[in-house]
Amino acid sequence: MIKKEMLDKKVWAVVGVTPNKEKYGYKIWKKLLDHGYETYGINPKYDYIQKEKIYTSLKEVPKKIDVIDLVVPPKVSLKTLEEAKELDIDYIWFQPGTYDDKVIEKATELGFKIIYNDCVLATLNELEKK
């Protein structure tokens, strides 16, 4: 149910985007863009990836974000939760490897609607087959 809600939202941020086409941080960002989502990449290491502006933090994004997709280690995910709360973002999708018990506990405490046992890339690939 939450998955459908999230996929119906149109403004996404991928925290941990990378220009490395072999990594999930790139594949997920690109797949969301290809599916017509307004997708903002977040990574302080890059200014642009494929001519798309990349932001150093969620606060820099010029638009209200609906869903955050995390592709970072658990300790970065934990820090991102605070920023997301300040920005009044409701939905967070944790990619495999981006969370631990502490992260999920904190996300639940803060009242986020979360998915953490699924991959958005696999989900969008499935939708393409339908």
Q: 36-59 pLDDT, tens per residue? A: 999 999 999 999 999 999 999 999
Backbone angles phi, psi at 124, to 5 degrees: -70, -35
Q: Indicate if the pLDDT at residue 24 is higher than 90.
A: yes
CATH 3.40.50.720 fits 2-125, yes or no: yes
Tokens matching residue 41: 């990449």
Residue 19 DSSP class: S
Beta bridge partners of 53: 48
Dist CA 66 CA 38 (whole Å) = 10
Token pair, residue 115, equals: 């998915």
Which residue type occupies 24? Y
Which SS3 state, helix, strand or coil, does residue 15 take?
strand
Domain extent listing, the chain:
2-125
Average pLDDT, the chain: 96
- The pTM of the whole model exceeds 0.85: yes
pLDDT of residue 130: 75
